[in-house]
Amino acid sequence: MVETTTSYTLIDGRKVSSDVKTEIAQRVAERKQLGKKTPHLAIILVGDDGASQTYVDNKVKACKSVGFHYTMMRFADTISEDRLMKHIDHVNNDDDVDGFIVQLPLPAHISVERITENIRSDKDVDGFTNHNFGSIISKNPLLMPATPFGVMELLRRYRIVTEGKHAVVIGASRIAGAPLSMMLTEQGHATVTICHKYTKDLASFTRSADILLVAVGKPGLVTADMVKEGAVVIDIGTTRVEGPEYPKGWAIKGDVDFKNVAPKASFITPVPGGVGPMTIASLLLNTLRAAELRNP
């Protein structure tokens, strides 16, 4: 699981994700042997956005790999918000479905907030509803936001100590930065500073970080002079950058200048292959948990 160079350990999200899927598949097989219900994930996709289609295809492939049942629901981007809401209500009331997601982004005429808040919290395997978001600070969180959940799992499996450490999170989004800062505080017992686009003199905060976590979507934002020696660096950002210098005409870039930051780090995630694969693994973990809570 650990690939080490002379100066840093590369955090291999693909390997950890594979390990998690193997563990989930074993638990699903055990449920089937005991005559218990197979976890069932429903996926709603609106429109024909290429990136969204790729994400959904990867989620379907992951469901197959662990033995989940799954249902794909595709709708044109002209579907009305009210019509989409009726389909969500149907899935909410379908006892065979343990968890479901609405793939983002949605067309501009549909309110993401309204759609998200109408997903039953016990089926919200993305962990986006207010109930699940708020449950992070409870002693018994229900279904945690998938990307931050994946980050915490990487830290745990690489035995990276968070207790008493200074963690600096760049990015305050509802999907990643904000819930991650809460999880680092509540579960990781770290001292957390959260920075965002209004933060002045960002480097003065990042240079004090024992653990630096970046989720902005701005390629190369974090440079070597912003990172202290021996820091753990978790790059959550993914941006498609186009240019003739790339063999495919494009490349996926993270928020961290990996080439120059890595030699200063003790642990670092690559992009791609770091946090990204863990998001789907976390989605599967949440679906299994939802199934176990509904059908012990």
As a whole number of angstroms, the distance between CA 235 and CA 215 comes to 7
Examine the pLDDT at 10 and tell me if it is beyond 60.
yes
Q: What is the mean pLDDT of the chain?
A: 94
Query: Are 35-120 and 145-276 the same fold in CATH?
Result: yes
Taking only the tens place, the pLDDT of each residue in 49-69 is: 887 888 899 999 999 999 999
In the annotation, is 201 catalytic?
no
At residue 1 the predicted structure's pLDDT band, cuts being 50, 70 and 90, is very low
DSSP states along 204-236? HHHTT-SEEEE-S--TT-B-GGGS-TTEEEEE-
CB atoms within 10 A of CB 57: 12
Spatial CA neighbour of 152 closest among 141, 164, 143, 144: 144
Check 12, 21, 98, 103 and give the catalytic one.
103
Q: What is the pLDDT of residue 86?
A: 96
In the annotation, is 124 catalytic?
no
Examine the pLDDT at 254 and tell me if it is beyond 80.
yes
Examine the pLDDT at 3 and tell me if it is beyond 70.
no
| Segments of the chain assigned E as strands | 2-4, 9-11, 40-46, 69-75, 99-102, 166-170, 191-195, 211-214, 231-235, 239-242, 250-253, 265-268
Residue type, 105: P
Examine the pLDDT at 2 and tell me if it is beyond 50.
no
In the annotation, is 59 catalytic?
yes
Taking only the tens place, the pLDDT of each residue in 28-45 is: 999 999 999 999 999 999
Q: The whole model's pTM is what?
A: 0.92
**CATH superfamily of the domain spanning 35-120:** Leucine Dehydrogenase, chain A, domain 1 (3.40.50.10860)
CATH architecture of 145-276: 3-Layer(aba) Sandwich (3.40)
Taking only the tens place, the pLDDT of each residue in 189-218 is: 999 999 999 999 999 999 999 999 999 999
The highest-confidence range among 130-144, 163-177, 241-255, by mean pLDDT, is 163-177
CA atoms within 13 A on the CB side of 251: 9
As a whole number of angstroms, the distance between CA 296 and CA 289 comes to 10
Q: What is the pLDDT of residue 4?
A: 41
Check 59, 165, 253, 264 and give the catalytic one.
59
Check 126, 210, 235, 257 and give the catalytic one.
126
Residue type, 112: V
- Ranges of each domain in the chain: 35-120, 145-276
Q: What is the pLDDT of residue 28?
A: 97
